[in-house]
């Protein structure tokens, strides 16, 4: 998944009409492709790199080689290249990086597609030719919309659209081969959108941490208070309304997760009852757990979790909650922590 930070950086550059290059790993031996960097004429920006200065070949020739709007491939030895180090790639093998100038007329901008997916909370997919054909030619698809693209061969275009639809379903990226043509299929998933049903002080670090890792965050309140917006300044939005109205907002999102933590039985009961009727992927109940879950859904619901409290501070509790949600979304439930020996502190 393309990181939210780099999507937002690219959006700002587009709005400011500042020319920039995009560098994306399209082949990586034994590693996942898809990491990106942004390079302007005056500085380089990235959310996927470690801070090492760019390889001279890219810094010196990138602007010249893309002057006509055509992209190029840069082959990098992972053992020697500073560019590989900047992408956080180490070990043996090599990578190939597609370098292109953003905003070239008639070309699809994958980061613009990703920004739309983030904004409307829908999945997307972009398929890019990286060998054997017109380098950088693409088809793109956003869920609920018609495909677009600049691939002219009908057979190739149809096969690429089919793979884009498959990526929408699976959320998986990877290389594809269409005879002599190689392409990189990138699934674009909107970030998880966390709905926090509660406005207590223990919800503040949850909101802050979720936003820091790139999630969308909505704080759900049952009544308007000026202090709520001030307390949750890190949230993308503060929503007011009934449990039913708020649940309808949850159902609009592709990757919705929720926490029930108002710590008032009547509010938590109504919110949980509304959430179990949505397609929310994770529902965490914090406090008053046993009675509340029994009263709302005695038959059980696999999406309901009771996040374990690890640590002593609200920040440590928030970290445990966010970690559990991430593990569930990745289909890797956390294992109990076992300490085989004592650690002196």
pLDDT 10s digits, 149-191? 999 999 999 999 999 999 999 999 999 999 999 999 999 998 8
Whether residue 306 is predicted with pLDDT greater than 80 in this model: the reply is: yes
**Quick one: pLDDT band at residue 334, thresholds 50, 70, 90?**
very low
Mean pLDDT of 79-85: 52
Least confident of 67-76, 91-100, 211-220, 252-261: 91-100
Strands (E), the chain: 20-28, 36-40, 44-45, 72-77, 94-101, 124-131, 138-142, 148-149, 174-178, 181-188, 193-197, 216-221, 237-240, 256-260, 282-285, 304-305
User: What φ, ψ does residue 267 adopt, rounded to 5°?
Assistant: -65, -45
Question: DSSP per residue over 182-238, as a string?
Answer: EEEEEEE-PPPEEEEE--STTHHHHHHHHHHTT-EEEEEESS--HHHHHHTTTSSEE
| Residue 87 pLDDT level (bands cut at 50, 70, 90) | low
Rounded to 5 degrees, what angle do the CA atoms 63, 67, 68 make?
Answer: 155
**What is the edge-to-edge ordering of all strands in the sheet holding 148-149?**
148-149, 138-142, 124-131, 181-188, 174-178
Cβ-based neighbours of 152, under 8 Å, separated by 6 or more: none
**Strand 237-240 with 304-305, pairing:** unpaired
Kindly give, in sequence order, each residue whose CB lies less than 8 Å from that of residue 22, ignoring residues fewer than 6 positions away: 10, 36, 37, 38, 39, 99, 100, 101, 102, 110, 111
Average the pLDDT over each of 53-57, 109-113, 320-324 and give the range with the smallest value: 53-57
Contact between 22 and 111 under an 8 Å Cβ cutoff? The reply is yes
**Angle, to 10 degrees, between the axis of helix 4-15 and the axis of helix 110-120?**
110
- The CATH number that domain 193-329 falls under is 3.40.50.720
Model confidence, pTM: 0.77
pLDDT of residue 96: 87
Residue 5 pLDDT exceeds 90 = no
For residues 232 and 286, what is the distance between their CA atoms, to the nearest angstrom? 19
Report whether pLDDT(202) > 70.
yes
pLDDT digits (tens, 9 = 90+) for 92-132: 567 888 999 998 888 899 999 999 998 888 999 999 999 99
Any residues with CB less than 8 A from the CB of 326 and at least 6 apart, and which? Answer: 213
Mean pLDDT calculated for residue range 323-338: 70
**How far apart are alpha carbons 95 and 76 in whole angstroms?**
5
Quickly state the pLDDT bin for 331 (edges 50, 70, 90). Answer: confident
Higher pLDDT among residues 345 and 282, named by residue: 282
Band the pLDDT of 337: cuts 50, 70, 90.
very low
93 in Cβ contact with 31 (< 8 Å)? yes
Element containing residue 270 per DSSP (H, E) = helix 265-275
pLDDT at 57 over 60: no
DSSP helix/strand/coil, 115: helix
**Comma-separated ranges of CATH 3.40.50.720 domains in the chain:** 193-329
Rounded CA separation 115/72 (Å): 24
pLDDT(79) > 70: no
Percent of the chain past pLDDT 90, that is, above it, reads 53
What integer pLDDT is reported at residue 220 of this predicted model?
Answer: 94
Q: Distance between CA atoms of 125 and 128, rounded to whole angstroms?
A: 10
Instruction: Look at 107 and 47; give whichever has higher pLDDT.
Output: 107
Can you list the positions of beta strands (E) in 62-156?
Answer: 72-77, 94-101, 124-131, 138-142, 148-149
**Residues of the chain with pLDDT > 70: what percent?**
82
Q: How confident is the model at residue 60 (pLDDT cuts 50, 70, 90)?
A: low
Q: What is the pLDDT of residue 34?
A: 84
Residues 292, 285: Cα–Cα separation, whole Å = 9
């Amino acid at each position: 998944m393309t990181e939210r930070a780099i999507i937002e950086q690219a959006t700002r550059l587009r709005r400011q009409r500042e020319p920039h290059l995009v560098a994306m790993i399209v082949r990586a031996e034994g590693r996942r492709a898809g990491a990106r960097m942004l390079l302007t004429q005056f500085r380089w920006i990235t959310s996927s790199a470690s801070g090492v200065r760019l390889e001279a070949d890219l810094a010196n020739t990138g602007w010249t080689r893309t002057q006509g709007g055509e992209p190029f491939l840069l082959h990098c030895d992972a053992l020697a290249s500073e560019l590989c180090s900047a992408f956080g790639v180490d070990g043996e093998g090599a990578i190939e990086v597609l370098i292109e100038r953003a905003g070239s007329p008639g070309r699809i901008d994958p980061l613009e597609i990703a920004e739309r997916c983030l904004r409307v909370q829908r999945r997307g997919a972009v398929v890019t030719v990286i060998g054997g054909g017109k380098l950088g030619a693409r088809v793109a698809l956003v869920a609920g919309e018609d495909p677009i693209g600049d691939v002219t061969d009908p057979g190739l275009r149809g096969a690429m659209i089919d793979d884009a639809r498959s990526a929408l379903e699976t959320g998986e990226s990877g290389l594809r081969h269409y005879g002599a043509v190689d392409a990189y299929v990138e699934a674009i998933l909107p970030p998880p959108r966390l709905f926090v049903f509660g406005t207590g002080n223990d919800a503040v670090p949850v909101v802050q941490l979720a936003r820091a890792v790139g999630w969308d965050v909505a704080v759900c309140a049952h009544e308007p208070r000026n202090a709520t917006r001030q307390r949750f300044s890190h949230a993308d939005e503060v929503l007011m309304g009934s449990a039913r109205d708020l649940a309808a907002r949850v159902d609009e999102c592709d990757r919705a997760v929720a926490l029930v933590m108002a710590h008032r039985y009547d509010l938590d009961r109504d919110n949980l009852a509304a959430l179990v009727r949505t397609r929310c992927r994770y529902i965490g109940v914090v406090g008053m757990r046993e009675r509340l879950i029994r009263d709302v859904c005695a038959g059980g619901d696999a999406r309901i979790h009771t996040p374990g409290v690890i640590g002593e501070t609200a920040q440590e509790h928030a970290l445990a909650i966010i970690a559990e949600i991430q593990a569930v979304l990745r289909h890797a439930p956390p294992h109990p922590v076992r300490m085989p020996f004592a650690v002196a502190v």
